[in-house]
Every structure is written in structure tokens, then in C-alpha cells.
Amino acid sequence: MKVRLADKVALITGGASGIGRATALLFAREGAAVSVADLDETGGQAVVARIVESGGRARFVNCDVTNADDCRRAVRQTAKALGGLNILFNNAGIIRRSTVLEITETEWDRVMAVNVKSILLLSKYAIPLMAEAGGGVIINTASGWGMIGGRRAVSYCASKGAVVNMTRAMALDHGGQNIRVNCICPGDTDTEMLRQEAQQLGTPTEQFLAEAAQRPLKRIGKPDDIAQAALYLAGDAASFVTGTALVVDGGGLAG
């Protein structure tokens, strides 16, 4: 069976868990060599081990995505070790559930650094390599709350709205270099971060998850649901798709 990412090299941030982990495993099954970037070395190395055990190529890079030196090193080490860089999945993200009155300046800055600045830094170092190689793909993780507002999530909504429009701007700037830039807007997805939201809000986890499932498809997303969307955007099936925000949310934004 033909694999869709044969001979491609992908760098995935937040790759040790959740959506990043599911995407790393899927990309590897589809033929890509994968660089798993995260601060969680134990989790990241476990993802790499699974890929290697299955006959794939992968490496872990310890990376603080808010630090320029770390981001530069992650890109360079990926290209050197795996033979280039074709796909950058800017997936790392955090959430702080709070209003303008509740959030501290430090918390605000951290959310914006992880969710937005990281895309600037990784893309800044990846794009020259992609351009030199004749093109590439950048995928950014935004959110349904990058399209509409949400209660007690002001910093997250602000950051993900920035990701959506940053994606459009990057697509305009780099289309001439044959670099496609798109973002995914997931709905509530079954990850540790979703459970952290319940804790931050002081809501029982099962109640929180049940409420999150109240959407047309009557369930929350699975990491694999989002990984499949990333695979589509990374592959040739999306060769004429750039500057788009792909909503993957079980119908949550439909009305």
C-alpha cells in the first residue's frame, strides 16, 4: 500500500503526548522520518522508541519552544540527523482558563509565548531550509476558539485567534517559495490538556468531558482525529491548499 509521506522529514512540537504524539506515530506509519520536539524527554523518547521498533526513523530533541536557541537547534539537528526538513507541525500549546480580571501578566505572557511566539521561532528557522529544498509544509495548531470566543479563556482565545491570522499571513508571504501554511482548529480533544481545563475551572472531570461532548457528533475528539487532519494537510492531497483554517470539531462550530 502506498504511504503518503514517503521520504519526508517532519518536525513535530509537543510531540510527546496528545495530538503531537498521535501525529508523530501516524506520520511515521505513512513513511516520514519524525523529529519529536518536547520538554518531556521521557514521553518523547517513548514515542521515538515506538516508531523505531516499528521500523521507522525518529529522534527526540529537547526543545523549549519559547526559546530561540532551542528552536534553531531543533530545526538544525532535525535536518542534519534525518536529511532535511519538509514538514513543520507547530503543535505545542497550553491553556489557562481565566478572565481578564483573573489572569496574571506572567500567565498571559506564557500562553502567548508557547502558543504564538513558538510558531514565529520554529518557522523562522525552518522556512529557509524548506525554500532551499524547493518547498515544504507548515501546519499550525489553532483552535475552534481561534474562530469564536469562549468563556474564561481570554488568553487562549487571543493566542489561537493570532495563530489563525498568522497562518494566513505566512501563506501569503511564502507561497512563492512553494511553502504551504495551514492551521487546524480542533474542538475539545481527549488529551491531558483537556483534563487540566477541568481542574483549572474546578469542575469534576467527568462532568466537564460530558459537557464538552455536547456537539452534533455527540463525542469529544480523539488525538487520531486531529492527526488525520494534519496528515491531509501535510500530503499531496492538499497540494492546492494554503492559508486555510481547517475546523475539526465534531460540528461544534456549525451552529
Q: Distance between CA 248 and CA 253 in Å, rounded?
A: 9
Q: Is 232 a catalytic residue?
A: no
- 82: which DSSP letter? H
* Closest CA relative to residue 144, chosen from 21, 254, 229: 254
* 3-class secondary-structure state, position 35: strand
Q: Which three cell numbers stand for residue 220?
A: 469529544
List 156, 181, 188, 189, catalytic entry? 156
Q: What is the pLDDT along the chain (255 residues), one digit of tens a residue?
A: 689 999 999 999 999 999 999 999 999 999 999 999 999 999 999 999 999 999 999 999 999 999 999 999 999 999 999 999 999 999 999 999 999 999 999 999 999 999 999 999 999 999 999 999 999 999 999 999 999 999 999 999 999 999 999 999 999 999 999 999 999 999 999 999 999 999 999 999 999 999 999 999 999 999 999 999 999 999 999 999 999 999 999 999 998
CATH tag, 9-188+222-248? 3.40.50.720
What backbone torsions phi and psi does residue 137 show, to the nearest 5 degrees? Answer: -135, 135
Q: Distance between CA 218 and CA 165 in Å, rounded?
A: 29
- Kindly provide the residue ranges of all beta strands, DSSP E only, lying in 27-112, ordered along the sequence: 33-38, 58-62, 87-90
